[in-house]
């Protein structure tokens, strides 16, 4: 009898706890169900984004042909794929991209491109997550004065994002220093993005140009997605250009 009494007592306790805590069970069941749905939605969305193209194969091929024709005229020689030293990468992150470290990076970038790093001002700003018109800017009043690279860093930006912005603006400097510029602004931005890949920065642009998403809580189970993307072309455009150039340079 004692054994059965214990079993019955345990069952009663379990039933009591289940009834008493049913609202908590329901809450966490709904939470994990919504969490699963949200993560699947974000995952599906990111997969779609990774396949989205801005430029066609033909447009990228024509830009590569343009660079093949024009960069040798200025004495440019491909030096292989650029690699950022690990100690500098850590410094950039820990120092929150201060001017001193960015100048070290800029010197390495310009050396890789075969131009001087002298005479360029920096304007590095930490800004809010509110939508802004630009992630970065390159400004040049004349060929010899007022050359400035601006980068506007939001709290959500990853190291890869900041790096891709900086490389893009540095490439504007490279092209304009050599008198290479298209009249149409959007086409000139496409040219700049593809030049980053052409000159050996493809792997950094590939990571930086992924669309990034994060969870935003709007209520108990109401979730939204905040996202940002930098660059004028997309991940898949960069990926195609890397493969195209890699194949061409093997031939």
- Residues forming beta bridges with residue 67, ordered by sequence position: none
Asked if 2 and 102 sit in the same domain, the reply is no
Single residue among 51, 69, 91 that ends a domain in this structure: 51
pLDDT above 60 for 43: no
Asked if 30 and 141 sit in the same domain, the reply is no
Highest mean pLDDT pick, 3-12, 34-43, 155-164, 212-221: 155-164
pLDDT of residue 139: 85
| pLDDT tens per residue across span 62-119 | 999 999 999 999 999 999 999 999 999 999 988 888 889 999 999 999 999 999 998 8
The rounded distance, in Å, linking the Cα atoms of 248 and 81 is 15
Asked if 154 and 228 sit in the same domain, the reply is yes
pLDDT of residue 156: 80
Its pTM stands at: 0.77
Asked if 126 and 14 sit in the same domain, the reply is no
First to last CA, the chain: 88
| pLDDT tens per residue across span 141-162 | 755 557 899 999 888 888 899 9
Single residue among 28, 51, 74 that ends a domain in this structure: 51
pLDDT above 60 for 57: yes
pLDDT of residue 16: 67
Asked if 83 and 152 sit in the same domain, the reply is yes
Judge whether 195 and 171 are in contact, CB under 8 Å.
yes
**Measured CA distances, 142 to 24, 119, 147, 177, 179 (Å):** 67, 12, 8, 10, 11
Residue of 115, 93, 91, 113 lying closest to 104 (CA atoms): 91
Asked if 29 and 75 sit in the same domain, the reply is no
Mean pLDDT of the 198-202 span = 96
Quick check: helix, strand or coil at residue 174?
A: helix
Judge whether 109 and 82 are in contact, CB under 8 Å.
yes
Helix or strand holding residue 171 (H, E): helix 159-177
Single residue among 51, 70, 85 that ends a domain in this structure: 51
The tokens describing 77, both together, are 């020689």
Quick check: helix, strand or coil at residue 94?
A: helix
Which of 68-77, 131-140, 200-209 shows the lowest mean pLDDT across its residues?
A: 131-140
Phi, psi angles (nearest 5°) of residue 46 = -65, -35
How many structural domains does the chain have?
2
Domain of residue 73, residue span: 54-250
């Amino acid at each position: 009898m004692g054994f059965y009494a214990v079993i019955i007592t345990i069952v009663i306790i379990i039933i009591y706890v289940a009834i008493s805590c049913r609202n908590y069970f329901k809450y966490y069941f709904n939470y994990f169900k919504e969490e699963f749905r949200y993560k699947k939605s974000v995952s599906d969305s990111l997969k779609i984004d990774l396949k989205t193209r801005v430029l066609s194969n033909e447009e990228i091929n024509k830009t590569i042909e343009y660079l093949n024709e024009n960069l040798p005229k200025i004495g440019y020689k491909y030096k292989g794929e650029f690699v950022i030293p690990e100690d500098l990468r850590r410094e950039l992150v820990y120092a929150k991209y201060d001017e001193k470290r960015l100048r070290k990076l800029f010197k390495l970038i310009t050396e890789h491109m075969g131009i001087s790093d002298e005479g360029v001002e920096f304007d590095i700003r930490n800004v809010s997550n509110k939508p802004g018109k630009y992630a970065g800017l390159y400004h040049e009043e004349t060929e010899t004065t007022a050359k400035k690279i601006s980068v506007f860093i939001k709290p959500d930006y990853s190291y890869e994002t900041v790096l891709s912005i900086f490389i893009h603006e540095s490439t504007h400097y490279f092209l304009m220093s050599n008198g290479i510029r298209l009249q149409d602004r959007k086409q000139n931005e496409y040219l700049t993005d593809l030049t980053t890949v052409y000159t050996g920065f493809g792997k950094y642009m590939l990571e930086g140009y992924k669309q990034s998403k994060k969870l935003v809580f709007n209520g108990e189970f109401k979730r939204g997605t905040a996202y940002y993307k930098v660059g004028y072309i997309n991940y898949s455009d960069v990926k195609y250009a890397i493969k195209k150039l890699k194949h061409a340079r093997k031939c």
